[in-house]
Structure formats: C-alpha cells, structure tokens
Amino acid sequence: MHETELILTITGGLSAALLLGYLTHKMGLSPIVGYLLAGLIVGPHTPGFVADRRLADQLAEIGVILLMFGVGLHFHLKDLLAVRSVALTGALCQSIAATALGSFTAHAFGWSWPSGIVFGLALSVASTVVLTRVLSDNGDLHSRTGRIAVGWLVVEDLFTVLVLVLLPALFGSGAKEVSALPLALGLAVLKIAVLGAFTFVVGGRLIPRLLSGIAATHSRELFTLAVLAIALGIAVASAYWFGASMALGAFLAGMVVGQSEFSQRAASEALPMRDAFAVLFFVSVGMLFDPRQLLHSPGVAAAALGIVLVGKPLAAFLIVTLMHHGSKVALGVAVALAQIGEFSFILAAVGKSLKILSEDAANILVAASIASIALNPVLYRLVGPAEAYLRRHPSLWRLLNRENLPMEDHLGRKAGPAHRAVVVGYGPIGQTVTRLLAQRGIEPTVIELNVDTARRLRQEGVHAIYGDASQREILESAGLERAFSLILTAPATAESTEMIRLAREINPTIQVLARSAFHGETAGIRSAGATHVFSGEGEVALAMTEYILQQLGATPEQLDGERERVRAFLAT
C-alpha cells in the first residue's frame, strides 16, 4: 500500500480534522483545537491509523507557503501607518518581553540559552487565524480594538519573518564562531535585500501583467492556477536561489500581488486551497504531540502556558494603557493576543532543524497552543465584564483611561458617509443605479468581474472592487458590513441566492435589492433573504399598465393606486 500513502494521509488527516473540528466548534472552541487533536489521533502516539509523517510534513510546508502568501496579500503599509505607533512599539516590546520570559524560564530549567531564546520567540507570536476569528465572532474586528490588534500582528508577523531568516545565521553551522556572526548576519540581510528587490522590481512588473493576461481569459481555473504558481514558484526560488526560507518568498510574493488590482480576487478565489493545506499543517503539528512527554517537563509546560496566558497579555495591557488608548481597548488587545499558533510551530520547526530545540520543547509548544487556543474565545468574552468592573471603581478607571483619544479608522481616514451601497455588476442597470446613488450623496462601491471595467471605474473616481461577489472576502472588502444596501443588477442565479445568504451573515440588517428574469423566481430569491425583488416580467407589466391608464386619462392618485395594486399582485 506504499503507493497510496499520500491518499491515505490526506484522507485520514482531513477526515479526522473535519470530525474533531466540527465537534470543537459545537463546543464553542476554535476548530483549530480540533485540527490539532486530529493530528494526535492520526499520529504515532495513539493507537489505530497512523498517517505518514514525512508526507504530512511536506503537505504542511505547502500550508505554510500559502499562509505566508495570504499574510503578504493582506499586508498594506497604509493600514499599518494608521496604528503605527502603538502597533510597532507594542509588538516589539511585547515580543522582547515574552522572549525574555521564555528564555529565562527555559534556562532556569537547565536548557541552553539558544534553546531558551528560540523557545521564547515561539511563545511571543500570536496566531493571526485565531485572533481574527475571535475578534470577528465578537463583532470587534473593525473596532478600535480590532484595528490595533491586527496592526500589532502585522508587525509581529514581519518581525517573525525576519527571525526565520536570521535564525540560521545566528545558530546555524556557519555561525558557530562569534567572529563569524557579523558576516553571517550581513549576508543574510543582503540576501533578503536582493530577494526583496528582485521580487518587487522584476516581479512587480511581470506578475501584474501575467495576471492581467490570465484575467482576460475569464477562466477562473486559469486564474487560480496562476496565483498558486506565483506563490509556490517564488517560495521555492527564494529557497534554492537566495538561500532564504520559502515562507519569506511566499510573503513577498503575496505583497506584490496584494499591491495590484488582483489582490481581492486572488484572496477570494485562489486561496481557499490555503485553508485545506493549513488544516493539514495543524494536523501535522498535532502529530508531534506526545502527552506522555509532558510528564518529563511538567514545570516547563506550566510555565510556558503561564507566559502565554498571563505574561504576554499583561505586557500588552500595560503598553496599550501607557499609550493612552483606554482600558477597554487595552483589555481587548491583551486577551486577543493571549494565544500562540502557526508561527510558533514554524519557529519550532526551524529550531528543530537547526538542532536547537528538542522534541520535548516542540511538544510543550503544541500543548501550550492547544490550551491557549481553546481558552482564548472564553477569556475574550470576559473583556466586557472586566471593563464594567473597572467602571465601578472610578479612581482605577480614570487612572487607566487618561488622555483616551479617538482614533481614525485603519485606512487613516475618518468614518465615511452614513449611507453606503454595494452594487454588484456595472452593466446598463448598474451604471444607472451607481450614477443615481452618487447624485443622492450615497457612496457606491461597485463589484465587477471585468478587470477593464473595474480599472476604468477607479480612474473615474468610483470605488470599484475587482472580483467575484459570491466570495465572502470580496463582499467584506467592499465594506458590506457597514453598507445600507446591496444591489444585484444582474438577473439572479443559484450563485446569487448564495450571495444573498452570505450577505445576510455579514450584515443581518442590510437591505438586499435583487433582480429576476421571471416572476416565478421571485419567491425563491425572497426566501434567500432579499428585501425586494424586481422581475423583468413584473416591471414590464407595470409599465404597460401605467401607459394604458394614462391613455385612459387616469389621475396621478389613480395611477399610484394601480401601481400599488400591481405590485401587491406581483408580490404574491
């Protein structure tokens, strides 16, 4: 059965992840906990089916590449600049504090200083996946707390990317002598600079042209393949040609694509595969976990969990408070960061490959991750009660909320107009609707699948998103959660009904205006969540009725009454 090991590993890993991810989700925990437990079940430390660790690690490497590509894809300098002071200061100070705590703790238990430093670095890095999920579930992703926390993680991710490249220079075979460190560090930085320059100068010109040519074919499959080939190709090239990590190459590739007009479509259409491989990444990490090994180092495991759940959030709380962002924001940011995830595992894997970290240390990190990820959503729900407690003690609350200044949104702008509308499609109807909305002071955002139309709209000053509106990320990037209405200008299809349901999930109060070709389709579209449905047959019937009545000399009041009667009939 050796020739089927790949199929068995993927099938067993994904099946176990699906089952346990579903069960942990039903328990109110993050599905990531289920994925890690699935790895334990299919791993070598439990009886029954055992997946191939070698194959699982290679699949996990693809997950790492796609995860890093996704981080780069969503990284924009303007987002960071809006919260630069607290994000930059906070991320660096907290990382240093957590690394120091982890290093001294590990050294106190007899570990070497290099082991302690890498262990501390792994404890300092929070999971982007977990943080965004917790903030989103609690409606705080686009709040001041969410903007600071996400900006904080962007800096943290960049710092970690740099660490991933510098670790071999610091602790690899070429850096054993102290005198060799400056040269090794200089070479590492030079490689990063050359790789970055090559990616942004050469790739920045070639990649948009390539994607533009692929987009012109209107083939979703070709576009998906192009994005995956870019991510994987640059990641592999960075490792083989520049001696850097695949993760760094993927991150830079994501940044290049993210700065182009194809970023939203790449995120929505090409990266769903990232989720599947990311699941296999967590499964492969769970396969490392041996519960029996915790008996060898229970003190280190308990201390590591204490650093993640107490040390890190306390440092974050103090930093945000001292920078005068208020106790509520400080509590939210602190608790959201009180976990470790994917980057911790990547650092642990690099540490193991450099023979710095032992299997025991990696096992402790996995255990701390499982526990912190499981507790994080529960702890975040306590932020509100904790803030209420502080308010009941005015002297303490005033101490923590001095000079609490308002913040602009993550783009560095004040909140926009009260009424926003998202228009899907820019055909004749979409053009008319968009023009009328703009004339009424309502800011329209157009989602268009034709790249040339999207470019032209942006040149004309219209906010346009290039991508498929049936994808969640496209709707969210159009600001649907803050919009007053969603207007579907093309006749509804089965894909449109799913879009309406998705829009209701993102913004339950939004008004959805849909269009159908035939009157008989309106009931199904309404059941999907549309507020109003306009059918081609119905509008033609209404126009004909109005014309006949006008010819017969009907008064305006009579016309209004007949319009209501026809609309009532069509609504049945």
User: Which H helix or E strand runs over 444?
Assistant: strand 443-448
**Adjacent-strand bridge partners of 514:** 533
- SS3 category, 511: strand
Binned at pLDDT 50, 70 and 90, residue 148 comes out as confident
Q: Which amino acid is at 203?
A: G
What is the structure's pLDDT at 396? 78
Q: What is the 3-state secondary structure (H, E, C) of 118-175?
A: HHHHHHHCCCHHHHHHHHHHCCCCCCHHHHHHHHHHHHHHHHHHHHHHHHHHHHCHHH
Per the structure block, which two tokens stand in for 552?
């017969």
Diameter of the chain by CA atoms?
A: 100
Reported as a single tens digit per residue, the pLDDT across 383-395 is 888 888 888 877 7
Per the structure block, which two tokens stand in for 347?
């650092």
Sheet holding 485-491: strands in order across?
463-466, 443-448, 420-424, 485-491, 511-516, 532-535
Q: What distance in Å separates the CA atoms of residue 386 and residue 317, rounded to the nearest whole number?
A: 13
Q: What distance in Å separates the CA atoms of residue 73 and residue 271, rounded to the nearest whole number?
A: 10
Reported as a single tens digit per residue, the pLDDT across 290-322 is 888 777 788 899 999 999 999 999 999 999 888
Q: What distance in Å separates the CA atoms of residue 47 and residue 33, rounded to the nearest whole number?
A: 20
- SS3 category, 83: coil
Mean pLDDT of 165-170: 72
On the 0-12 / 13-18 / 19+ scale of CB atoms within 10 A, 33 is buried
pTM of the model: 0.64
Q: What is the 3-state secondary structure (H, E, C) of 548-562?
A: HHHHCCCCHHHHHHH
Return the minimum-mean-pLDDT range out of 330-344, 404-418, 455-469, 522-536. Answer: 404-418
Percent of the chain with pLDDT strictly greater than 70 = 84
Do you know the residue count of the chain? 572
Reported as a single tens digit per residue, the pLDDT across 229-278 is 888 888 888 877 876 667 778 878 888 887 777 777 777 766 667 777 87
Q: Which amino acid is at 541?
A: A
Residue (of 426, 563, 66) closest to 274 by Cα position: 66
**pLDDT above 80 for 570:** no
Reported as a single tens digit per residue, the pLDDT across 457-511 is 888 888 888 888 877 778 888 888 888 888 888 877 767 777 888 888 888 888 8
- The structure tokens 């943080």 sit at 131
Positive or negative: CA dihedral 421, 425, 426, 431: negative
